[in-house]
A and B are shown apart, each in its own frame.
Chain A
Amino acid sequence: MAGLRELYQEVIVDHSKHPRNFGELDNPTFRKDGFNPLCGDKLTLTISENNNVIEQIRFQGCGCAISVASASLMSEALQGKSRTEINAIFHDFHQLVTQGHNTILEIRLGKLAILAGVAEYPARVKCATLAWHTLNAAITGDTKQVSTE
């Protein structure tokens, strides 16, 4: 039950109900769809980049609280970051949500660390990482549809 309270703490529920950066950019540098066929989670990311810096991220779609909150938190955390920084954060985040609590990672990830509780629910890791995989595919120019399966 402690795990449950951690997974659905207020910040996550709040981001799922009132997602930040929800919508679409008019002239994005990148646009990418992500899909989780198991849950039916779908999202579209639009991203603007300038001089290797991700300036703006918007997302649109529907999904469970974990996937929406994760996309919302991601959009807040990564705007204004360079590609190199994003790579490092993506790596840390992935490790945290698959392997669970890790003080060093949590300090580095800051607010994003509230998703650490997902690791206790392996079936939900895909929900938490959908937006991240989609963003990664968008900025690396992967042309395949992003799917968690």
Chain B
Amino acid sequence: MKIDFKTLRADFPLLKQTNRGKPLVYLDNSATNQKPRCVIDAISHYYTHDNANIHRGVYELSERATREYEKTRVTIKSFINAKHAHEIVFVRGATEGINLVAQSYGRTHFKVLDEIMISTMEHHSNIVPWQMLADQVGANLRIIPITDDGEIDMDAYQKLFTERTKMVAIAHASNALGTVNPIKEMIRIAHTHDVPVLVDGAQAFPHMPVDVQDLDCDFYVFSSHKAYGPTGIGVLYGKEKLLESMPPYQGGGDMIESVTFAKTTYNKVPFRFEAGTPDIAGVIGFGVALAYLKNIGMDNIAAHEQELLNYATQKLSAIPELKIIGVAKNKVGVISFVLKDVHPHDIGTVLDAHGIAIRAGHHCAMPVMERFQLPATVRASFGLYNNTADIDALVTGLQEVQRIFK
């Protein structure tokens, strides 16, 4: 089916506004993206008609809320082709998913001198939880180096495995460089060493089809708000066997089977990991976002964003004194760049005045900046509603930057 992406833009009410008096050009989709009307309406509808606490009410309203909430779990299961719906755990976002695995799986399975492997290109959310865990259990981090193009050094990766390696945690796609990592191959290699792999899918899930059974990853985390859904909701996928081996992450209501002051027995997976009343509206809204994406087709979205990436790469490369940081062969729609003698924050401010929203900074990936010896970069990142006119506006804005700082 041929999708007319031009008309899809009208589904996003926020994009109709101006930014500093200019039509908004939103190119910060790696940070978060805008929500289609159907998602906004679903949240409003939930609070207008269906709001009740879930998993406990004996009345119709609560049953309806529970049904809608659990329906999203099944939607996600199909979306990423998990084997079971109970392998889908709702969390606040990809960050919480990683923290959950580090604290629940890591603390019970890792010991002194064990090794956790991450890469140079990880977001801080896939570094710090492992550092915290390493401090707690006396384990060590091992860092997979990246090449000048911004790709995983696969030879170095293979050589990093030791008998002490207990986990590989790797981004599916890099938020700072756009690199799509060869995770299927990396997972295969890790499994030959009997090492489980956690994939941080925050930057990949919204931009391409993801099949967790095909990847054979042990854990996969992603956030709703980067996938056109509400903030405050994310998913931890874990293989049933691994989730079953893990103790609760937080205590509270809904995660128990029975409680006495002598002993508490825990609920089954996934409820064991969902203490307290969750973001029910967020989960339902996310379900609607996924239905919206499914209707367009993740293959179509990936193709559209690749076209934008190619167009932008070509246009930006033609700007004198502009250097693209991260030129991996396989990328999502993310372009990080620097302009000679102009600080990224000044570029960000000039573009802002032209209505263009981009990210300037270290992108919560300071080790990447250090790797490329840069304090910061400018990053433009694309979503399904972007078009070539957005990229042309970016180019015009950058010409203005160069005029000011000539």
A interface vs B, CB < 8 Å?
1, 3-4, 7-8, 13, 17, 38-42, 62-66, 121, 123-124, 127
CB distance from B346 to the nearest CB of A (A): 5
Cβ of B389 within 8 Å of any chain A Cβ, yes or no, is no
A39 touching B353 in the complex, CB below 8 Å, given contacts A63-B343, A65-B343: no
The answer on a CB contact under 8 Å between A8 and B350 is: yes
The answer on a CB contact under 8 Å between A39 and B350 is: no
The answer on a CB contact under 8 Å between B361 and A4 is: no
Give the contacting residue for A38; candidates B341, B342, B350, B361; CB below 8 A.
B361
Residues of chain B lying within 8 A (CB to CB) of residue A41: 375
- B330-351 near A? 1/0 per residue, CB < 8 Å: 0000000000011111100110
CB distance from B178 to the nearest CB of A (A): 20
The answer on a CB contact under 8 Å between A40 and B375 is: yes
Residues of chain B lying within 8 A (CB to CB) of residue A13: 404-405
The answer on a CB contact under 8 Å between A66 and B346 is: yes
The answer on a CB contact under 8 Å between B404 and A64 is: no
Cβ of B362 within 8 Å of any chain A Cβ, yes or no, is yes
Greatest chain A CB density within 10 A among B21, B345, B352 is at B345
The answer on a CB contact under 8 Å between B345 and A64 is: yes
A127 touching B345 in the complex, CB below 8 Å, given contacts A13-B404, A38-B361, A39-B375: yes
The answer on a CB contact under 8 Å between A40 and B349 is: no
- The number of inter-chain residue pairs (CB within 8 angstroms) is 48
CB distance from B143 to the nearest CB of A (A): 21
CB distance from B397 to the nearest CB of A (A): 11
In the A-B complex, the 7 residue pairs with the smallest Cβ-Cβ separation, listed nearest first, are A40-B375, A64-B343, A4-B353, A64-B345, A65-B346, A8-B404, A64-B346
How many B residues, CB 8 Å from partner? 19
Residues of chain A lying within 8 A (CB to CB) of residue B369: 40
Residues of chain A lying within 8 A (CB to CB) of residue B376: 39-40
Residues of chain A lying within 8 A (CB to CB) of residue B20: 3
Residues of chain B lying within 8 A (CB to CB) of residue A8: 346, 350, 404-405
Residues of chain A lying within 8 A (CB to CB) of residue B346: 8, 64-66
- Report 23 cross-chain contacts, Cβ distance below 8 Å, ordered by A residue: A3-B20, A3-B353, A7-B349, A8-B350, A17-B405, A39-B345, A39-B361, A40-B361, A40-B362, A40-B369, A40-B376, A62-B375, A63-B343, A63-B375, A64-B344, A64-B346, A65-B342, A65-B343, A65-B346, A65-B405, A66-B346, A121-B349, A124-B349
Residues of chain A lying within 8 A (CB to CB) of residue B344: 64
Residues of chain B lying within 8 A (CB to CB) of residue A39: 343, 345, 361, 375-376
Greatest chain A CB density within 10 A among B344, B369, B404 is at B404
CB distance from A40 to the nearest CB of B (A): 3
Greatest chain B CB density within 10 A among A3, A64, A66, A121 is at A64
Residue of B nearest to A40 (CB): B375
Residues of chain B lying within 8 A (CB to CB) of residue A1: 21, 353
A124 touching B345 in the complex, CB below 8 Å, given contacts A40-B375, A40-B376: yes
CB distance from B44 to the nearest CB of A (A): 30
CB distance from B400 to the nearest CB of A (A): 9
Residues of chain A lying within 8 A (CB to CB) of residue B342: 65
The answer on a CB contact under 8 Å between B349 and A4 is: yes
Residues of chain B lying within 8 A (CB to CB) of residue A65: 342-343, 346, 405
Within 8 A of A (CB), among B81-132: none
Q: A7–B369 Cα gap in the complex (Å)?
A: 27
Q: A38–B350 Cα gap in the complex (Å)?
A: 18
CB distance from A104 to the nearest CB of B (A): 27
CB distance from B105 to the nearest CB of A (A): 31
Residues of chain A lying within 8 A (CB to CB) of residue B361: 38-40
